[in-house]
Amino acid sequence: MEFAAGARLEVRIGASDVGKRVTVRSLTEAAAPGAAFTDTVGILTSWDEGVLLVTRRDGTRVRLAEETVVAAKVVPAAPARRRGPAADFAELAGVQERGWQAVEREALGGWLLRASRVDGAVGGAGASTGFTRRANSVLPLGDPGMPLPEALDQVRRWYGARGLPAYAQLATGAGDTQEVLAAELEEHGWRREVSALVMVGALAPLAELGPASMGSLAVVAPIAEGPETADPGVRLGRTPDEAWLRRYNRAAGTGPGGVPPGVLAVLASGPSPWFARVDAAGAGGGDTASGRRDFVHTGKGVSQAAGVPDAIGRCVVDGRWAGFSAVEVAPERRRTGLARRVMGALARTALAEGASAAWLQVERDNEAAVALYTRLGFTVHHHYHHYRAPESA
């Protein structure tokens, strides 16, 4: 948002506007006569000792010296989405948490402590660690019921007792997200390590994805083993079998029976999880009496299954939402439509269960994946970030 040409320039914000969305016009660093202006739009997260801190939608923090500000005002919240399903942050955050549930969960007021501790690093030996930051971070969706410094100390102690580093998962860029809290954590020495995009889109168009241009695809009601698929080359299952785990990059390389139970518990969590895979050419069958090809569980461990699938994916159905994750394709088979086929089969499954909207998370520096999901109709809903506590208080 820009200031209208010819409008009177006024600074119409103050410290009392912290937490509101603002637009600020300031001089660039070269403050010589004729120097250019720059406009910054975001959440005013602090105004202290002559410095304004504004957090942009992607979580980037901009520091502005008060003496460089020539105009500023409060502006309305980001406009409503014009594409894709409408959802507020609280709804989507709850769906995300249920779709990737930690093994251990404990409330701290309105915060949720989450841990999924595994013995030894997945894929090799090592000290105990946590399976993904999402399942090993505090999710602060409300008031912890105590002053922030005390809450952060409790978080550090809780994770320390489990031999895990303390992480917090915070969001920016949507209504009621946590820009102010993120700034406060940084003031307490917490540092952002990784950021990701949360993208949403309509589910029905995904259901038409298949091995070729398939047109409108009928979705039949679920049967005993699961819903039919219009793409017989995609196998479906309720839990990840050995072959699926061989492709999954966070489990690849584990020995017989080596995937920790905590990893399997997180993968199989959620109201209605589904797993899909496309086997390499010549792989064995898992046909059912109905002619569908489904998962086969041998109980022999990941390394005992023959072959590695060309592609896999995971989807959790939760009411109107279908959440996609673990969409992975063999490097030599990328750009051949396999990711689309996996997502199409999972989307048809979710539609058959009554879902209508889709969401997914992707690291924002994964440009190829972001481009694919954008082509499939997904748009960014918000950004989320993991902050790590300092090593010492």
Residues 138, 113 contacting (CB under 8 angstroms): yes
The predicted pLDDT at position 78 comes to 67
Question: Residue 208: CB partners within 8 Å, gap ≥ 6?
Answer: 214, 215, 216, 217, 344
| 236 pLDDT higher than 90 | yes
| 85 pLDDT higher than 90 | no
From first CA to last CA, the distance across the chain in angstroms is: 40
Confidence band, pLDDT 50/70/90 cuts, at residue 254? low
Q: How many CB atoms lie within 10 A of CB 41?
A: 16
| 296 pLDDT higher than 70 | no
How far is Cα 155 from Cα 361, in angstroms, rounded to an integer?
Answer: 25
Q: Tokens 């609280």 correspond to what residue?
A: 90
| 273 pLDDT higher than 70 | yes
175-185 average pLDDT score: 92
Q: In percent, how much of the chain has pLDDT > 90? A: 58
Q: Which of 6-20, 37-51, 120-134 has the highest mean pLDDT?
A: 37-51
Confidence band, pLDDT 50/70/90 cuts, at residue 287? very low
| 155 pLDDT higher than 80 | yes
Residues 32, 48 contacting (CB under 8 angstroms): no
Instruction: Report which residue type is found at 234.
Output: V
Range of lowest pLDDT (83-87, 227-231, 369-373): 227-231
| 209 pLDDT higher than 60 | yes
| 81 pLDDT higher than 60 | no
Confidence band, pLDDT 50/70/90 cuts, at residue 304? very low
Identify any residues that bridge with 71 across adjacent strands, giving them in sequence order.
Answer: 25
321-329 and 357-363 beta bridge pairing: parallel
Closest Cα partner for 217 from 87, 23, 351, 329? 351
